[in-house]
């Protein structure tokens, strides 16, 4: 028997945990596994024992775990740390809505909204947005956090014309 080594990352979705489950062991709900998209090179053939994501620096650390030693035909303990630079995989599901994405009136404040979810489908409140409104002139945009991964964006087009709105999502 040889275990299959996967080169993807999964996390247990703990959102359904209740205080009763944590403190008293009365867990009546199944906890699903969710795939976490991690771009770039991956460690192949290793099962990680611990995972830590530094939200400030966007680094993912996998520590310990096991790998299958083909020569000895058994699992071997790993004593190393693998480090991955996340490219905002946790904020990969963002959408924008509002009439001001398509039309706005020169001289009047325009507004639209952005909703960000992480790879597990949860509200991504730590995302940082940069909005660029470019046309015949550059227009500054203001972003306001509304909580629960929601953001309000306002901009004031000063002259009539065509503009392109770009919403960049990151961690700063």
Query: What average pLDDT does the structure give for the chain?
Result: 76
Q: DSSP letter for 161, please.
A: S
Residue 5's pLDDT band (cuts 50, 70, 90):
very low
Specify the pLDDT at position 164: 93
Specify the pLDDT at position 151: 92
Specify the pLDDT at position 90: 56
Given a cut of 70, whether residue 91 has pLDDT beyond it is no
Query: If you average pLDDT over each of 68-82, 122-136, 148-162, which comes out highest?
Result: 148-162
Given a cut of 50, whether residue 66 has pLDDT beyond it is yes
pTM here is: 0.53
- Percent of the chain exceeding pLDDT 70 equals 69
Contact in structure between 78 and 67 (CB atoms under 8 Å): yes
With CA atoms as reference, report the closest residue to 101 among 51, 141, 148.
Answer: 141
Which tokens belong to 86? 């996340």
Query: If you average pLDDT over each of 2-11, 49-58, 91-100, which comes out highest?
Result: 91-100
Specify the pLDDT at position 3: 42
């Amino acid at each position: 028997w040889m275990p299959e080594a996967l080169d993807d990352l999964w996390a247990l979705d703990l959102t359904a945990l209740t205080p009763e489950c944590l403190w008293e062991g009365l867990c009546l709900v199944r906890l699903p596994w969710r795939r976490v998209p991690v771009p770039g090179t991956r460690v192949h053939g290793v099962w990680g024992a611990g995972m830590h994501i530094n939200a400030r620096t966007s680094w993912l650390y996998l520590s310990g775990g096991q790998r299958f030693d083909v020569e000895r035909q058994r699992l071997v303990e790993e004593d190393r740390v693998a480090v991955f630079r996340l490219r905002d995989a946790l904020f990969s599901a963002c959408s924008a809505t509002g009439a001001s994405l398509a039309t706005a009136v020169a001289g009047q404040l325009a507004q639209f909204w952005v909703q960000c979810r992480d790879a597990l489908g949860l509200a991504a409140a730590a995302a940082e947005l940069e909005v660029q409104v470019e046309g015949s002139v550059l227009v500054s945009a203001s972003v306001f956090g509304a909580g629960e991964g929601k953001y309000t964006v306002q901009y004031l087009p000063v002259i009539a014309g065509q503009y392109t709105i770009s919403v960049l999502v990151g961690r700063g």
